[in-house]
A and B are shown apart, each in its own frame.
Chain A
Amino acid sequence: MAASAGEVRHLFRALLREASRFSNYNVREYVKRRAIDAFHQYRDQSDPAVVDAAFKRGLQQLEIARRQSLVYSLYGPRVKSIMDLRSSK
């Protein structure tokens, strides 16, 4: 059973939302960027088997992101990356 366009969009938004929950600047940016790249990659894919496999993989990645954003928030340092501090020169 293939995923509907709505489900795909929901997964994409969920991944981006989870990305923003990471306390670590580099991981946060990576999850966001990687999700966008992955969805772009399969945007014009017509083969339903390929799309389905990618969707399942996306769901797995979302689960990992959910667990890890929690772990990182529990153990993240108090001092943030300078990239997160909006300081100019």
Chain B
Amino acid sequence: MMKGVQMAGRPLYLDMQATSPVDPRVLDAMLPYYMDQFGNPHSRTHMYGWESDEAVEKAREQIAKLIGANAKEIIFTSGATEANNIAIKGVMHFYKEKKKHVITTQTEHKCVLDSCRHLQQEGFEVTYLPVRKDGLVDMDELKAAIRPDTGIISIMTVNNEIGVIQPMAEIGELCRKNKIFLHTDAAQAAGKIPINVDDMKVDLMSLSAHKIYGPKGVGALYMRRRPRVRVEAQMSGGGQERGIRSGTVPTPLAVGMGAACEIAMEEMKHDEKYIRELTDRLYKGITSQLDGVIVNGSMEHRYAGNLNLSFAYVEGESLLMGLKEVAVSSGSACTSASLEPSYVLRALGVEEDMAHTSIRFGIGRFTTKEEIDRAIELTVDQVQKLREMSPLWEMVQEGIDLKSIQWAQH
């Protein structure tokens, strides 16, 4: 019994964008560093330190390999949020004499938007680019927003709420031409779609371990060395991680992230095919039994494991209450505390009522076909129940155009 909800069993988990389960192979790699091999990797004088350092450096290599980078370009952080902070604030603070302008999109993760707001308070100028109806950045609008004093452009590779994949190679090309640093939040992308920092022409990239079946509490920032990107450190201390991020590198977490990246690289093709099949099954299963189901975001440029659906004439909160046997979310975990409809969906131009009924299904490596079938059953059931109770639905069935109604005051 939790939060007033009685449950016989643990719900089936379809919220992979919020977080993912730790892969048993990752846990296996991490455990020794919580037991006998507990040394601090920065201890120079004994075996405990040396073996810990060796493990951290191996993990660094594994992460670099996943994104086509050099190990020297990987900095361990506490997660993608910290990496985003270092990238955006760090770059602009370092180059603040000459560069005063930042460009980002309205659909970025809260930590990117908040970092930009922080910079605005310090006197920098920020352009929050709108996106198209399908969630993609308009290249012409991006070109138009560039100024001579633009220091950095930050655009996430795969959106956490709607799963849309941005045209990073094209954006990278544009940034190179204009000599602007390109940062991308690749937390939802790395390990899931093929990523190469040289193909994308990206200068900074944020990575998160717990999105790819790794442990929570660790992430990484990729910083290009040729041509070099400089940042002002956001954490003061002993100068670890090349002076960019002070603090003891948490060996077991770093090892976990490394293992997760290596496994992701090996399993990417297999996972991608499997997840795509499941997502198609989920989508077809729901839309074959329900009308008025809209996919939020481009169908073409999307990561298969993220399916964000809006159900017309259904109230979102009640839909989620009814789906207690399926762990899903509406919008992003970062904004679901408030009742405010998702700003990402608002940026897509989704109408208020449809934005409120959005459900994000997150499918991953460990999802089973049976879970998908159960989710389809429960979702269709709940939506039909709610629609039957809805007078609006009744009116729509009778052919009344809701937009033409003059609602009277009581």
Contacts and interface: CB of A to CB of B under 8 A. Distances in A.
Interface of A: 22, 25-27, 29-31, 33-34, 37, 61, 64-65, 67-68, 71-72, 77, 79-85, 87, 89
A37 B270 contact: yes
Contact of A79 (B10, B31, B381): B10
B27 A71 contact: yes
Interface stretch (B133-141, B147-155, B224-232, B360-368): B360-368
A59 B365 CA distance: 22
B367 A26 contact: yes
A68 B9 contact: no
Interface in B8-37: 8-13, 21, 24-25, 27-28, 31
Given A26-B21, A89-B377, A82 B11 contact: yes
B325 interface: yes
A14 to B, nearest CB: 16
A82 B371 CA distance: 10
Contacts of B370: 83
Given A64-B24, A68-B24, A83 B12 contact: yes
Contacts of B366: 26-27, 29-30
A83 B28 CA distance: 25
B385 interface: no
B8 A65 contact: no
Given A68-B27, A68-B28, A81-B12, 9 more contacts: A26-B366, A26-B367, A30-B365, A71-B27, A77-B10, A79-B8, A81-B10, A83-B371, A87-B9
A64 B26 CA distance: 10
Contact of B9 (A61, A65, A85): A85
B374 interface: yes
Contact of A26 (B28, B31, B368, B381): B368
Contacts of A67: 28
Contacts of A27: 21, 24, 366
Contacts of B13: 26
Sorted nearest first, the 5 A-B pairs with minimum C-beta distance are A82-B9, A26-B366, A68-B24, A85-B9, A81-B10
Nearest to B367: A26
29 contacts: A22-B24, A25-B368, A26-B13, A26-B367, A27-B21, A27-B366, A29-B368, A30-B365, A30-B366, A33-B368, A37-B270, A64-B24, A64-B25, A64-B28, A68-B27, A71-B24, A71-B27, A71-B31, A81-B12, A82-B7, A82-B9, A82-B11, A82-B374, A83-B12, A83-B371, A84-B9, A85-B8, A87-B8, A89-B381
A89 B376 CA distance: 12
Interface of B: 7-13, 21, 24-25, 27-28, 31, 270, 325, 365-368, 370-371, 374, 377, 381
Contacts of A34: 270
Nearest to A38: B270
Contacts of A79: 7-10
A33 B367 CA distance: 11
Contacts of B374: 82-83
A28 B365 CA distance: 12
A82 B8 contact: yes
A75 to B, nearest CB: 10
Contacts of A22: 24
B368 A83 contact: yes
Contacts of B10: 77, 79-82
B9 A81 contact: yes
Nearest to A85: B9
Contacts of A89: 377, 381
Contacts of A82: 7-12, 325, 374
Nearest to B326: A82
A67 B29 CA distance: 11
A87 B27 CA distance: 31
A80 B368 CA distance: 16
Nearest to B25: A64
B99 to A, nearest CB: 47
A23 to B, nearest CB: 12
A71 B25 CA distance: 12
B28 to A, nearest CB: 5
Contacts of B381: 89
A31 to B, nearest CB: 8
A49 B12 CA distance: 41
Contacts of A84: 9
Contacts of B25: 61, 64, 68
Contacts of B365: 30
